[in-house]
């Protein structure tokens, strides 16, 4: 009797020749379901019309969204924005003799909204914008002027709420919980939507960690994966601190993956020239962005195989920054639906998980005349990185009826064909039991 033909190989991403005439037949598809590219539809600031006008459209199309919310003023939140540091009176007194400079700027700016006066938010906002645009001396002067007003008691007593915190606060945690149960992702956008580029690290930490804590308490830990530091900041000091602190698995502002090129909202560069494994291409449609341009982003994605289009929406209809009419969004989403054969539409969290799992995964494969046995493992935290991966396995030409079994579950799989031969596509879980492909 002829010995059973037996082969083993190891591969993560590429087909690996282990010895002459022996090819590993299994690869992990670049995107789930072997689509051409991925789209994450994200929304900032928890603007009520995102939920009343757009979620119904998304639910009808079965599109999941990711909502970055500001939690400090939502009714029932346990954590509210405050200054973490010395008594503000002490800081105010120092401003009488020492003008603002690079050594005291972050502390003073962090305390500026908490001096006990209304109208301070406006100065904080101005100082943040100036600092982010590189006008440091003007930013210092702005902080000096708000402290001078507070010392002179020239403002009305009270505390300001930011525009964005006020918008998020028009929703309730119970509404958010319902949307989360429908498959939408919620994510942290801080307690009070500050310019973090002008906060010191204790206040950056407080704004993010306490936002995360309220989301975990009200919506569960599956909604604590992603975050966006407000105003799309790429401030080096803030990014370095937040990434090193590992408060979140993923930041929309910046991801550290060496295999991914990032083109953020403000950049004009086009994807398609990069040799990187993945390109995260963020686009933020504004009130005047033509729908034809928005649709062309989908066409660009479909013309390549490595693009993750991350859409960043703000205002809808009459509420929020740079609003877009919900009818236009419905038209845009219908275009995505019409092209869904090539698109993987998933939350920011799921696309991140898929890429990281795929890049960290190792496959082993053993083959006999009737079976292919596969193991699929990665070294990431398996309690978080548990999204099914799509495998593509080439099968012997004579096999017709194929089943795939994992964890005592057996599925019949359709056979497909390309220039290289017959193959199957199937979804399996990493770090679980062996995968058995049977054919006859
Ligand atoms: Zn925002």
3-state secondary structure of 408: coil
Backbone angles phi, psi at 49, to 5 degrees: -70, -20
Is pLDDT at 72 greater than 90 in this prediction?
yes
Q: What is the dihedral of CA 96, 102, 107, 113, to 10 degrees?
A: 70
Is pLDDT at 12 greater than 80 in this prediction?
no
Question: Is there a shared CATH topology between the 7-30+353-439 domain and the 34-73+162-346 domain?
Answer: no
Is 7-30+353-439 in CATH node 2.60.40?
yes
Distance 25 CA to ligand 1 centre (A): 46
How far apart, in whole angstroms, are the C-alpha atoms of residue 211 and residue 226? 12
Is pLDDT at 428 greater than 50 in this prediction?
yes
Distance 368 CA to ligand 1 centre (A): 56
Distance 189 CA to ligand 1 centre (A): 7
Render pLDDT for 18-63 as a digit per residue (tens, 0 to 9): 333 345 689 999 999 999 999 999 999 999 999 999 999 999 999 9
Distance 337 CA to ligand 1 centre (A): 27
Overall average pLDDT of the 79-94 stretch: 97
How far apart, in whole angstroms, are the C-alpha atoms of residue 99 and residue 386? 53
Distance 125 CA to ligand 1 centre (A): 13
Give the residue from 274, 269, 234, 237 showing the smallest Cα distance to 254.
234
- The domain ranges of the chain are 7-30+353-439, 34-73+162-346, 88-151
pLDDT at position 364: 94
Is pLDDT at 307 greater than 70 in this prediction?
yes
Give the residue from 185, 194, 412, 432 showing the smallest Cα distance to 310.
185
Render pLDDT for 191-222 as a digit per residue (tens, 0 to 9): 999 999 999 999 999 999 999 999 999 999 99
pLDDT at position 130: 98
8 Å CB contact between 254 and 262: yes
Is pLDDT at 4 greater than 70 in this prediction?
no
- Dihedral sign, Cα of residue 58, residue 64, residue 315, residue 46: positive
Choose which CATH entry (3.30.70.260, 3.20.20.370, 3.65.10.10, 3.40.50.2300) describes domain 34-73+162-346. 3.20.20.370
Tokens of 217: 């308490």
Tokens of 199: 């906060």
Distance 92 CA to ligand 1 centre (A): 29
CA angle 129/134/140 to nearest 5° reads 70
Is pLDDT at 3 greater than 70 in this prediction?
no
Quickly state the pLDDT bin for 9 (edges 50, 70, 90).
very low
Distance 59 CA to ligand 1 centre (A): 23
pLDDT at position 213: 98
CA 36 to chain centre: 19
Strand partners, 9: 365
Distance 270 CA to ligand 1 centre (A): 24
How far apart, in whole angstroms, are the C-alpha atoms of residue 255 and residue 393? 31
8 Å CB contact between 79 and 210: yes
């Amino acid at each position: 009797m002829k010995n059973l033909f037996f082969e083993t190989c190891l591969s993560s991403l590429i087909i690996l020749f282990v010895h002459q005439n022996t090819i590993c037949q299994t690869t992990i598809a670049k995107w789930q379901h072997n689509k051409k590219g991925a789209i994450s539809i994200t929304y900032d600031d928890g603007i009520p019309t995102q939920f009343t006008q757009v979620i119904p459209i998304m639910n009808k199309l079965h599109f999941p969204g990711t909502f970055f919310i500001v939690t400090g003023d939502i009714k029932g939140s346990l954590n509210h924005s405050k200054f973490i540091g010395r008594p503000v009176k002490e800081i105010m007194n120092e401003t009488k003799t020492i003008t603002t400079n690079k050594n005291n700027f972050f502390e003073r700016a962090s305390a500026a909204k908490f001096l006990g006066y209304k109208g301070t938010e406006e100065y904080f906002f101005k100082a943040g914008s100036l600092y982010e645009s590189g006008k440091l001396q003007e930013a210092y002067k702005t902080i000096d002027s708000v402290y001078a007003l507070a010392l002179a008691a020239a403002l009305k007593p009270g505390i300001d709420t930011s525009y964005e915190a006020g918008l998020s606060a028009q929703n309730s945690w119970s509404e958010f919980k319902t949307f989360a149960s429908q498959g939408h992702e919620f994510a942290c956008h801080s307690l009070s939507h500050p310019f973090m580029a002008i906060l010191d690290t204790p206040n950056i930490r407080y704004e993010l960690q306490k936002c995360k804590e309220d989301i975990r308490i009200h919506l569960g830990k599956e909604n604590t994966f992603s975050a966006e530091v407000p105003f799309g900041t790429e401030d080096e000091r803030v990014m370095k601190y937040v990434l090193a602190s590992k408060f979140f698995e993923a930041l929309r502002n910046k991801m550290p993956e060496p295999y991914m090129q990032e083109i953020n909202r403000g950049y004009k560069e086009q994807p398609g020239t990069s040799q990187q494994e993945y390109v995260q291409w963020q686009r933020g449609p504004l009130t005047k962005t033509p729908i034809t341009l928005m649709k062309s982003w989908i066409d660009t994605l479909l013309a390549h195989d490595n693009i993750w289009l991350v859409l960043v929406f703000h205002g809808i209809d009459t509420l929020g920054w740079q609003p877009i009419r919900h009818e236009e969004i419905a038209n845009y989403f219908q275009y995505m639906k019409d092209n869904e054969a090539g698109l993987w539409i998933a939350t920011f969290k799921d696309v991140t998980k898929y890429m990281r799992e795929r890049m960290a995964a190792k496959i082993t494969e053993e083959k006999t005349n009737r079976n292919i046995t596969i193991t699929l493992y990665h070294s990431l935290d398996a309690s978080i990185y548990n999204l099914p991966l799509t495998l593509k396995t080439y099968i012997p030409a004579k096999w017709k009826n194929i089943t795939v079994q994992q964890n005592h579950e057996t599925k019949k799989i359709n056979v497909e064909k390309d220039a290289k031969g017959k193959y199957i596509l199937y979804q399996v879980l990493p770090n679980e039991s062996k995968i058995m492909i049977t054919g006859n």
